[in-house]
Protein backbone atom coordinates (compact mmCIF):
# COMPACT_ATOMS: atom_id res chain seq x y z
CA UNK A 1 0.00 0.00 0.00
CA UNK A 2 1.35 3.39 -0.83
CA UNK A 3 1.30 6.23 1.59
CA UNK A 4 0.45 8.72 -1.07
CA UNK A 5 -1.53 8.85 -4.25
CA UNK A 6 0.31 9.10 -7.51
CA UNK A 7 -2.16 11.04 -9.56
CA UNK A 8 0.31 11.53 -12.32
CA UNK A 9 0.56 7.86 -13.05
CA UNK A 10 -2.96 6.77 -12.23
CA UNK A 11 -4.61 4.56 -14.76
CA UNK A 12 -7.38 7.10 -15.25
CA UNK A 13 -5.39 9.03 -17.77
CA UNK A 14 -7.33 11.41 -19.87
CA UNK A 15 -7.25 11.19 -23.57
CA UNK A 16 -5.98 14.48 -24.81
CA UNK A 17 -6.68 15.67 -28.30
CA UNK A 18 -4.41 18.49 -29.30
CA UNK A 19 -4.95 20.75 -32.23
CA UNK A 20 -2.04 21.41 -34.51
CA UNK A 21 -1.69 25.13 -34.95
CA UNK A 22 0.90 27.89 -34.84
CA UNK A 23 -0.40 28.76 -31.41
CA UNK A 24 -1.05 25.72 -29.31
CA UNK A 25 -4.63 25.72 -28.15
CA UNK A 26 -5.40 23.20 -25.45
CA UNK A 27 -8.76 22.30 -24.00
CA UNK A 28 -7.67 20.42 -20.91
CA UNK A 29 -10.38 21.90 -18.74
CA UNK A 30 -13.70 22.91 -20.12
CA UNK A 31 -14.59 25.43 -17.44
CA UNK A 32 -12.57 28.03 -15.60
CA UNK A 33 -11.64 26.76 -12.19
CA UNK A 34 -12.31 28.77 -9.08
CA UNK A 35 -10.21 26.76 -6.68
CA UNK A 36 -6.68 25.53 -6.88
CA UNK A 37 -6.17 21.79 -7.09
CA UNK A 38 -2.81 21.93 -5.37
CA UNK A 39 -2.42 22.44 -1.67
CA UNK A 40 -2.82 26.03 -0.45
CA UNK A 41 -0.80 26.81 2.67
CA UNK A 42 -3.20 28.04 5.36
CA UNK A 43 -0.82 30.72 6.60
CA UNK A 44 1.36 33.08 4.58
CA UNK A 45 4.55 31.29 3.71
CA UNK A 46 7.09 33.92 2.85
CA UNK A 47 10.25 32.71 1.15
CA UNK A 48 11.71 35.94 -0.23
CA UNK A 49 13.88 36.68 2.80
CA UNK A 50 16.49 34.10 1.88
CA UNK A 51 19.14 34.90 -0.69
CA UNK A 52 20.61 31.93 -2.49
CA UNK A 53 23.11 31.47 -5.28
CA UNK A 54 22.10 30.78 -8.84
CA UNK A 55 24.37 30.19 -11.80
CA UNK A 56 23.99 32.52 -14.77
CA UNK A 57 26.40 32.07 -17.67
CA UNK A 58 28.60 29.99 -15.42
CA UNK A 59 28.91 32.65 -12.74
CA UNK A 60 27.27 32.76 -9.31
CA UNK A 61 24.64 35.42 -8.77
CA UNK A 62 22.34 36.15 -5.85
CA UNK A 63 18.78 34.97 -6.28
CA UNK A 64 15.64 35.46 -4.26
CA UNK A 65 12.57 33.27 -4.42
CA UNK A 66 10.21 35.80 -5.88
CA UNK A 67 8.42 35.72 -9.22
CA UNK A 68 8.75 38.59 -11.66
CA UNK A 69 5.68 40.78 -12.12
CA UNK A 70 2.82 38.87 -13.65
CA UNK A 71 4.66 35.58 -13.37
CA UNK A 72 4.74 32.45 -11.27
CA UNK A 73 8.00 30.97 -10.01
CA UNK A 74 7.88 27.19 -9.49
CA UNK A 75 10.51 25.97 -7.06
CA UNK A 76 11.66 22.37 -6.60
CA UNK A 77 14.39 20.82 -4.50
CA UNK A 78 16.28 17.90 -5.98
CA UNK A 79 19.48 16.74 -7.63
CA UNK A 80 20.52 15.88 -11.16
CA UNK A 81 21.49 12.30 -10.38
CA UNK A 82 17.89 11.68 -9.41
CA UNK A 83 16.64 9.05 -11.87
CA UNK A 84 12.97 9.13 -11.05
CA UNK A 85 11.35 11.94 -9.01
CA UNK A 86 13.11 15.00 -10.38
CA UNK A 87 12.90 14.13 -14.08
CA UNK A 88 9.24 13.17 -13.60
CA UNK A 89 8.38 16.50 -11.97
CA UNK A 90 10.38 18.54 -14.45
CA UNK A 91 8.84 16.61 -17.32
CA UNK A 92 5.36 17.32 -16.00
CA UNK A 93 6.21 21.00 -15.62
CA UNK A 94 7.57 21.02 -19.13
CA UNK A 95 4.35 19.52 -20.47
CA UNK A 96 2.26 21.91 -18.42
CA UNK A 97 4.16 24.92 -19.74
CA UNK A 98 3.74 23.70 -23.29
CA UNK A 99 -0.02 23.47 -22.80
CA UNK A 100 -0.16 27.05 -21.52
CA UNK A 101 0.63 28.43 -24.93
CA UNK A 102 1.72 32.06 -24.76
CA UNK A 103 1.48 32.02 -20.97
CA UNK A 104 4.31 29.50 -20.78
CA UNK A 105 6.76 32.39 -20.79
CA UNK A 106 5.23 33.61 -17.54
CA UNK A 107 6.13 30.41 -15.70
CA UNK A 108 9.65 30.44 -14.33
CA UNK A 109 11.28 27.41 -12.72
CA UNK A 110 13.94 27.30 -10.01
CA UNK A 111 15.59 24.07 -9.00
CA UNK A 112 17.58 24.08 -5.81
CA UNK A 113 20.10 21.31 -5.69
CA UNK A 114 20.32 19.54 -2.38
CA UNK A 115 23.53 17.91 -3.63
CA UNK A 116 25.79 20.87 -4.50
CA UNK A 117 28.93 18.75 -4.23
CA UNK A 118 28.00 16.88 -7.37
CA UNK A 119 25.64 19.34 -9.07
CA UNK A 120 28.15 21.87 -10.26
CA UNK A 121 27.74 24.97 -12.40
CA UNK A 122 28.80 22.89 -15.39
CA UNK A 123 25.99 20.43 -14.86
CA UNK A 124 22.89 22.05 -13.44
CA UNK A 125 22.04 24.63 -16.09
CA UNK A 126 22.49 22.05 -18.82
CA UNK A 127 20.24 19.63 -16.97
CA UNK A 128 17.49 22.21 -16.52
CA UNK A 129 17.75 23.44 -20.10
CA UNK A 130 16.49 20.02 -21.15
CA UNK A 131 13.14 20.82 -19.58
CA UNK A 132 12.63 24.56 -19.78
CA UNK A 133 13.92 27.75 -21.32
CA UNK A 134 13.08 29.70 -18.15
CA UNK A 135 15.07 28.36 -15.23
CA UNK A 136 17.21 29.24 -12.28
CA UNK A 137 19.91 26.74 -11.41
CA UNK A 138 20.29 27.32 -7.69
CA UNK A 139 23.46 25.83 -6.27
CA UNK A 140 23.73 26.77 -2.61
CA UNK A 141 27.22 28.02 -1.83
CA UNK A 142 27.15 26.52 1.65
CA UNK A 143 25.18 24.06 3.69
CA UNK A 144 23.77 26.90 5.77
CA UNK A 145 22.48 28.58 2.63
CA UNK A 146 20.73 25.36 1.61
CA UNK A 147 19.26 24.89 5.08
CA UNK A 148 18.05 28.50 5.18
CA UNK A 149 16.21 27.97 1.91
CA UNK A 150 14.78 24.67 3.11
CA UNK A 151 13.63 26.24 6.32
CA UNK A 152 11.49 28.93 4.70
CA UNK A 153 9.93 26.39 2.36
CA UNK A 154 9.51 23.97 5.26
CA UNK A 155 11.23 21.22 3.42
CA UNK A 156 14.25 19.07 4.14
CA UNK A 157 16.85 16.92 2.49
CA UNK A 158 19.84 14.81 3.30
CA UNK A 159 22.87 13.55 1.47
CA UNK A 160 24.70 10.61 2.98
CA UNK A 161 27.45 8.37 1.78
CA UNK A 162 26.81 4.70 2.31
CA UNK A 163 29.41 2.18 1.15
CA UNK A 164 30.82 4.70 -1.29
CA UNK A 165 27.38 5.34 -2.73
CA UNK A 166 25.73 8.75 -2.35
CA UNK A 167 22.15 8.53 -1.13
CA UNK A 168 19.94 11.56 -1.39
CA UNK A 169 16.62 12.24 0.21
CA UNK A 170 14.42 15.24 -0.63
CA UNK A 171 10.79 16.21 -1.00
CA UNK A 172 9.03 15.86 -4.31
CA UNK A 173 6.86 18.93 -3.79
CA UNK A 174 6.77 21.77 -6.32
CA UNK A 175 6.15 25.19 -4.77
CA UNK A 176 4.34 27.99 -6.62
CA UNK A 177 5.75 31.37 -5.55
CA UNK A 178 4.22 34.74 -6.42
CA UNK A 179 5.66 38.23 -6.97
CA UNK A 180 5.66 38.97 -3.27
CA UNK A 181 7.78 35.92 -2.54
CA UNK A 182 4.95 33.94 -0.99
CA UNK A 183 4.23 30.27 -1.54
CA UNK A 184 0.66 30.32 -2.80
CA UNK A 185 0.32 26.70 -3.84
CA UNK A 186 2.15 23.44 -3.29
CA UNK A 187 1.89 20.62 -5.78
CA UNK A 188 2.62 17.15 -4.38
CA UNK A 189 4.77 14.78 -6.36
CA UNK A 190 2.74 13.00 -9.00
CA UNK A 191 0.12 15.69 -9.58
CA UNK A 192 -0.98 15.28 -13.16
CA UNK A 193 -0.36 17.71 -15.98
CA UNK A 194 -4.00 18.81 -16.44
CA UNK A 195 -4.13 19.80 -12.78
CA UNK A 196 -0.90 21.76 -13.08
CA UNK A 197 -2.22 23.51 -16.17
CA UNK A 198 -5.50 24.34 -14.45
CA UNK A 199 -3.72 25.80 -11.43
CA UNK A 200 -1.20 27.74 -13.46
CA UNK A 201 -3.90 29.20 -15.69
CA UNK A 202 -5.80 30.28 -12.62
CA UNK A 203 -2.74 31.84 -11.01
CA UNK A 204 -1.77 33.68 -14.17
CA UNK A 205 -5.12 35.34 -14.79
Partner 1 sequence: MTTTGRHNRRGAVLVLASAFALASCGGSDTGTSDTAGTNTTLATSEASVTVTDQWARTSPMAATTGAAYMDIIASDGDELLSASVDASVAAKVEVHEVVMSGGSMSMQEVDKIVLPAGETVSLEPGGFHIMLLDLVAPLQSGSTIPVTLTFATAGEITIDVPVREEAP
User: Site residues (CB under 8 A) for partner 1?
Assistant: 2-4, 6, 8-13, 15-20, 22-24, 80-85, 87-88, 90-91, 94-95, 97-98, 104, 122-124, 126-133, 155-158, 167-173, 189-190
Question: In 3-state terms, what secondary structure has residue 162?
Answer: strand
Name the region of 47 (left: φ>0; alpha: ψ -120 to 50; beta: rest). alpha
> Least CB distance from residue 119 to partner 1, whole Å?
9
User: Nearer to partner 1 by C-beta: 186 or 199?
Assistant: 186
d(CA 33, CA 199): 8
User: Nearer to partner 1 by C-beta: 23 or 59?
Assistant: 23
> Least CB distance from residue 113 to partner 1, whole Å?
12
User: Nearer to partner 1 by C-beta: 20 or 34?
Assistant: 20
In 3D space, the residue among 187, 192, 174, 173 whose CA is nearest the CA of residue 8 turns out to be: 192
> Least CB distance from residue 73 to partner 1, whole Å?
18
d(CA 176, CA 172): 13
Cα angle value 183/189/194 (rounded, 5°): 85
> Least CB distance from residue 34 to partner 1, whole Å?
28
Question: In 3-state terms, what secondary structure has residue 145?
Answer: helix
User: Nearer to partner 1 by C-beta: 66 or 204?
Assistant: 204
Amino acid sequence: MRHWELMGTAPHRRTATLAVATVIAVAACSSSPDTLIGYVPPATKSVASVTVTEIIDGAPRPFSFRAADGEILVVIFGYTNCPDICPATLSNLKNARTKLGDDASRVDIAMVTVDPDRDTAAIMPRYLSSFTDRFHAVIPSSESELRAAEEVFQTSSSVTKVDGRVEVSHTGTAYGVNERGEVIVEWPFGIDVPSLVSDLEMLLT
